[in-house]
Amino acid sequence: MGIIEKMRLDGKAAFVTGGARGIGKSAAQAFAQAGADVAIVDMDIDEARKTAAEISGETGRNIVAVETDVTSKEQVDLMVKTVVDKFGKLDIAMCNAGICINAPADEMTYEQWFKVINVNLTGVFLTAQAAGKVMLKQGYGSIINTASMSAHIVNVPQPQCAYNASKAGVIQLTKSMAIEWAKKGVRVNSISPGYIGTDLTLNSPNLKPLIQEWNRMAPMGRLGKPEELQAICVYLASDASSFTTGSDFVIDGAFTCW
């Protein structure tokens, strides 16, 4: 089998958390374009349904929307069961849902800290764990966790210690799961995007001054595009990455090379 064939996802089943928009939506589109059936998992079920209909119309794949709060173990377990019941198996899990709250470390409230850690780290753990249990029984599967270049650097000028800590935790969680499951057919990797120009980011008035500063600091002088993450997501989901586990892939236009 050639490399192009190995990159195909025909007959595979996937879910993407935070899949209604942004990076998650772009990854779901890529999985479907490569031949997979995909569950769009999001708290915003209306937007998830719109995204599912859009991707299904574009690709002809079986795309469903599932409402889930990734911080709830019960909802995550039910979501994974729903996906397996719908598709008959689970080959690919992209644990992507995340939030960011910018607040100085000396002013950040416990509630703000807990919310970010709960969504970004505990949510990834719960989702990867639930997917992993299914995949371990099957003897195969690929889990892709969304970390961030913020796991590798301290972003400026915005203060975001909780976000940075949560994303660093995602990478170590990824490596830990990868080691535990390496001989059991389940691969676990993470991606660490740089600043990505999603619709929400580009259309936020509060972020415009920050975007100008980020672009000034960026070696390439611009934000990344969601579609520029698609190739790595498909690679990690596919059989082409059969020897790749426990790795973190930084896609940031060399931002962290400073």
Flag whether 160 is in a domain.
Answer: yes
Measured between alpha carbons, how far is 75 from 177 in angstroms, rounded to an integer? Answer: 21
- Is there a domain that residue 98 lies in? yes
CA–CA gap between residue 108 and residue 43 (Å, rounded): 25
Q: Is residue 125 domain-resident? A: yes
Q: Mean pLDDT throughout 225-247?
A: 98
Is residue 254 in some structural domain?
no
| 65-93 pLDDT, tens digit each | 999 999 999 999 999 999 999 999 999 99
Q: Active-site residue among 26, 163, 195, 235?
A: 163
pLDDT grade for 205, boundaries at 50, 70 and 90: confident
Which CATH number does the domain housing residue 124 bear? 3.40.50.720
For 92, the domain range is: 3-248
Instruction: Tell me the backbone φ, ψ of residue 72, rounded to 5 degrees.
Output: -105, 115
Concerning whether 163 is annotated as a catalytic residue, the answer is yes
- Residue 106 pLDDT: 97
Residues 32-72 pLDDT 10s: 999 999 999 999 999 999 999 999 999 999 999 999 999 99
Average of pLDDT values for 192-216?
91
CA distance 91 to 117: 27
> Residue 258: inside a domain, yes or no?
no
* CA 243 to each of CA 92, 186, 188, 233, 234: distance values in angstroms, whole numbers, following the listed order: 16, 11, 11, 15, 15
**CB-neighbour burial class of residue 4 (10 A; exposed 0-12, middle 13-18, buried 19+):** exposed
Please state, in angstroms and rounded to a whole number, the distance separating the CA atoms of residues 20 and 13: 17
pLDDT at 258: 83
> Which residue out of 25, 26, 166, 167 is catalytically annotated?
167
pLDDT at position 91 is 98
What's the rounded Cα separation, in Å, for the pair 108 and 254?
30
pLDDT per position as a tens digit, 245-255: 999 999 999 99
Say if 129 falls within a structural domain.
yes
192 annotated active-site: no
**What is the model's pLDDT at position 141?**
98
- pTM score, two decimals? 0.97
Is 15 inside a domain boundary?
yes
Per DSSP, the three-state class of 37 is strand
User: Which residue is catalytic, options 26, 142, 148, 238?
Assistant: 148
Query: How many Å apart are CA 141 and CA 92, to the nearest integer?
Result: 6
Locate 250 and state its tokens.
Answer: 């930084």
* Residue pLDDT, tens place only, 118-164: 999 999 999 999 999 999 999 999 999 999 999 999 999 999 999 99
Percent of the chain surpassing pLDDT 70: 100
Residue 253 belongs to a domain = no
How many other β-carbons are positioned within 10 Å of the β-carbon of residue 212?
A: 10
- pLDDT above 80: residue 200: no
Question: Which residue bears the tokens 């000034």?
Answer: 216
Tell me the percentage of the chain whose pLDDT exceeds 90: 94
Quote the number of domains for the chain.
Answer: 1
Reply yes or no on whether 195 is catalytic. Answer: no
Q: Tell me what pLDDT residue 201 has.
A: 86
Amino acid letter at 159?
P
